[in-house]
Amino acid sequence: MRTTPRVAAIHDLSAFGRCSLTIVIPTLSAMGVQCCPVPTAYLSTHTGGFGANTFLDLTDQMGPVLAHWKSFKLTFDAVYTGYMGGVRQSVEAAGYLEAFRGPGCLAVVDPVLGDHGAPYRGITPEICAAARALADQADVLVPNRTEAALLLGADYGDICLDREADCRRWAEALSRDGRRSVVLKGVSLAPGTIGAVCFDRDSGQTGFVSAPLAPGAFHGTGDLFASVLTGALVTGKTLSAAAQLAADFTALCARRTAERGLPEREGIDFEPLLYRLYGLMR
């Protein structure tokens, strides 16, 4: 009988610049969760601030990995998807959700498409359309403000996240009539704070979480938030409790990174604080 929660993590692997699997694997492991990675691509660095990074497309490996896993009836507590560098990757990732999701397996989709009002480099309209189709299969959707706009086909400027009524409206719109839970990041209801609005499809309730805002905009904060959220959900926390833990730990790491004056492009300095994450879970 399996007692350790198990998560299939479908993300890219960037060799330098903390993001994606270099955040996902250690974070889930620190939370007592077995992480089974499915790398979608191998990059020399992430795509922000380092110039012409390398990109090795691993899409052709995604199908065979899934077939092998299915051949010995592997099961998961969650399938957790992140950055998709092409339309086929989203299609292949959808195959994992279809194969493993069920009453005992959450589909957590972090639609990594952009930030600060613009898509990331290489994100095309076709990739956005494929991301919408993948998001339609989510049990829990974890977008930021930019990604919410891209998923909904809305103007970024229209998505206001500093008033409760607007936050509720956008979270519920992303839920597709309550079919999926939503944790919409980037909410700031009071000066000096940052957090999320959470729509829980099981209860039909919408709530808020917040934490102190640190100066700076560090790469990997979204991956860290979504990874802690996923780990907390598969270890039995409610959506709101999981989101609060994610907000608290991300804020803690962002503050450490800012205080040490570390380069923003190198990502959030989370590794020295992983021991604190285990303590926060208790």
Residue-wise pLDDT for 161-204, tens only, equals 989 999 999 999 999 999 999 999 999 999 999 999 999 999 99
d(C-alpha 23, C-alpha 25), whole Å:
6
Q: Quick check: 106 and 139 in contact, CB under 8 A?
A: yes
So what's the pLDDT on residue 219?
A: 87
Q: Quick check: 253 and 268 in contact, CB under 8 A?
A: yes
For the segment 26-37, the average pLDDT, to the nearest whole number, is: 97
- String of b and e for 25-40 (b: at least 16 CB within 10 Å)? bbbbebbebebbbbbb
pTM over 0.85: yes
Given a cut of 70, whether residue 260 has pLDDT beyond it is yes
Structure tokens at 109: 């989709």
CA distances from 43 to 37, 55, 82 (A): 15, 5, 15
* Average model confidence (pLDDT) across the chain: 94
∠ CA 89-90-92, nearest 5°, is 65
Report the SS3 class of residue 95. helix
Given a cut of 80, whether residue 46 has pLDDT beyond it is yes
Whose CA is closest to 114, among 106, 125, 105? 125
So what's the pLDDT on residue 216?
A: 81
For the segment 24-46, the average pLDDT, to the nearest whole number, is: 96
Domain parsing of the chain, residue ranges:
6-266
For the segment 18-34, the average pLDDT, to the nearest whole number, is: 97
Percent of the chain with pLDDT over 70: 99
Structure tokens at 195: 């957090």
For the segment 243-256, the average pLDDT, to the nearest whole number, is: 96
Given a cut of 70, whether residue 1 has pLDDT beyond it is no
Given a cut of 80, whether residue 281 has pLDDT beyond it is no
d(C-alpha 231, C-alpha 249), whole Å:
12
For the segment 13-33, the average pLDDT, to the nearest whole number, is: 96
So what's the pLDDT on residue 6?
A: 98
For the segment 42-66, the average pLDDT, to the nearest whole number, is: 92
The H or E element that residue 254 is part of is helix 239-259
Whose CA is closest to 90, among 59, 66, 51? 59
Q: Looking at the domain that runs over 6-266, which CATH code has it been given?
A: 3.40.1190.20
